[in-house]
Homo-oligomer: A and B are copies of this chain.
């Protein structure tokens, strides 16, 4: 029977889910695990605060609980990895978070990693998480793009800001690899890598690949 990996966008913005879905296309293979990308209807339009993070854990873990019989693994596709450890209590199936997997993948691509955050206010939360992971000594810096969430709709401006921010991480903070600190922006990965000349990790792809591996080895 076909294996299935459920990739959950915990915010309610379908466009983000669509971006995630497109990003996983290269990982789909006939005969291999399916990637089903879903939007958490109960989520906020965007996950910006710790309250947003904590607020989605309930519906997110409920969804995982409901789908654990027909799914073989789960990916939580928000860079704050909301509910990751709760979800791992709900099911014995693998649950991967894109922040954890994005950072760990970066460690295989360069010595010091930089992170591009959308919002400055998310940075302390991410720093706490890196501390909990025990990998803070590999962090070059995390910087925000400095755009409002609504401004992200302007693709040219967003791409330019990502490049500007990545450039500062590389030039001023000595980053050897960049992690995109958000989901659903995979379209900018290649342009960013081309502009910066260092590897750029799209974290949903990184997590999906690790989920794929776990499913195949189970």
Contacts and interface: CB of A to CB of B under 8 A. Distances in A.
A108 B100 contact: yes
Interface residues of A, number: 58
Nearest to A112: B127
A152 interface: no
A121 to B, nearest CB: 9
Contacts of A112: 124, 127
A66 B8 CA distance: 32
A141 to B, nearest CB: 8
Contacts of A107: 100, 104, 133-134
A41 interface: no
Mostly, the A contact residues are: helix
Contacts of A86: 49-51, 53-55
Given A104-B107, A209-B214, 6 more contacts: A50-B86, A96-B108, A132-B132, A136-B137, A141-B174, A210-B210
20 contacts: A29-B32, A29-B216, A49-B89, A50-B86, A54-B54, A54-B83, A55-B58, A55-B86, A100-B108, A104-B104, A104-B105, A107-B133, A111-B127, A131-B131, A131-B133, A132-B132, A133-B138, A134-B137, A210-B213, A213-B213
Interface of A: 26-27, 29-32, 49-51, 53-55, 57-58, 61, 83, 85-86, 88-90, 96, 100-101, 104-105, 107-108, 110-112, 123-125, 127-129, 131-138, 141, 174, 176, 205-206, 208-210, 212-214, 216-217
The 10 closest A-B pairs by CB, nearest first: A209-B213, A111-B124, A128-B132, A54-B57, A50-B85, A134-B137, A132-B132, A104-B104, A131-B132, A134-B138
